[in-house]
Amino acid sequence: MKKLLILLGLCITINTPAQATALKIAALVNGEIISTEDLQSQLKSFMMNTQIPMNAQTRGMIMQKVLNSAIDEKLKLQEAEKNDITITEDEIKAQLRNIEKKNNIPVGQLTEILKNAEINPQTVHEQIKSDLAWLRLIRQKYYMEGTPTQKEINAALKEAQEDLNTPKFLVSEIYIKKDNAKNLSDLVYNLRNDERFELYAMQFSDSPSAANGGNLGWINTGKLPFILENHLKKMKTGDISDPIKVGNGYYILKLNQTFNPATDKLQIPTSKEIKALLENQKMEALSKKLLQDLRQKAVIEIRS
């Protein structure tokens, strides 16, 4: 059976004696196709999972987020394959069952729900495969570099104890790079009218803290750039700042709590909690650096 492949604009046309179909290309990642159909399915999945409203204020950021996520998914799967990491169908099915359990969905009904929402089940399948493969890859690299030593844990614990004598802010952030900084005032409007700051941070922030919903934890006075700390000092608990330009991007801050050692008390973390914190920080740093390296080396073509 003869097949003729013709690449013109956004379409690859495949002619066979039985049928002719057209595949619209949204992007190429190291030669692998992300189709517009894939993106549309990922967009619907994003909307169903986050419930972030698609409106004039969020449309551009949502579309960019979905495209970036689709590209990262390809890069993660490609790198996992290079490192001989394989995710089995049983592992993916187990994760699907976990999703059903967490969302009180009857066993085996998730696929039907996705289809009813016009989401290709294969889209979720590939997302799960990418996440599991990437986590396994990062863990491998983490253990190769070594886990936190007792000396590191003791030093971090001592620092945490000393910090209890210093005024501090409990802060969450959304950082938007200058190139992506569009309609920021509209984003702030949404944040002030939607209590899910952490969800927006996870989806839109360009900072590593996005993985934690933008949560920076307790930050001592004097540790943040002056312009950011100056804004925090004028804010009340629960306030969300206007966009603050620093370097090549903009910060939107949420003040969750303040700590005054003269009047307030904080619980000293345990050695186990400190170890878990150091492990998470190290794996997040590894993940960020590896993905950043992959993006820089990749041949990525976005089709308009």
**4-145 with 165-259: one CATH topology?**
no
Task: Work out the average pLDDT over 139-156.
Answer: 90
Tell me which fold the domain 4-145 belongs to.
Answer: Triger factor/SurA peptide-binding fold (1.10.4030)
Residue entry with tokens 């943040």: 224
Question: CA-to-CA distance for 98 and 95, rounded, in angstroms?
Answer: 5
For residue range 51-74, what is the model confidence (pLDDT) as tens digits? 887 877 678 888 888 999 999 999
pLDDT band at 13 (very low <50, low <70, confident <90, very high): very low
Q: Confirm if 151 and 303 have CB atoms less than 8 A apart.
A: no
Lowest mean pLDDT among 79-83, 100-104, 267-271, 289-293: 267-271
Beta bridge partners of 28: 33, 301
The mean pLDDT of the chain is 85
How much is the pLDDT for 8? 27
Structure tokens at 35: 């189709």
The string of pLDDT tens digits covering residues 229-238 is 999 999 999 9
Specify the pairing of strand 32-35 against strand 168-177: unpaired
Instruction: Enumerate the β-bridge partners of residue 255.
Output: 171
Which residue's entry shows tokens 């309609």? Answer: 183
- pLDDT digit string, tens, across residues 179-236: 877 778 888 988 999 888 998 998 888 888 887 789 988 888 988 999 999 999 999 9
What CATH architecture is 165-259? Answer: Roll (3.10)
- Sequence ranges of the domains in the chain: 4-145, 165-259
Q: What pLDDT shows up at residue 304? A: 63
pLDDT at 268: 80
Check: pTM over 0.85? Answer yes or no. no
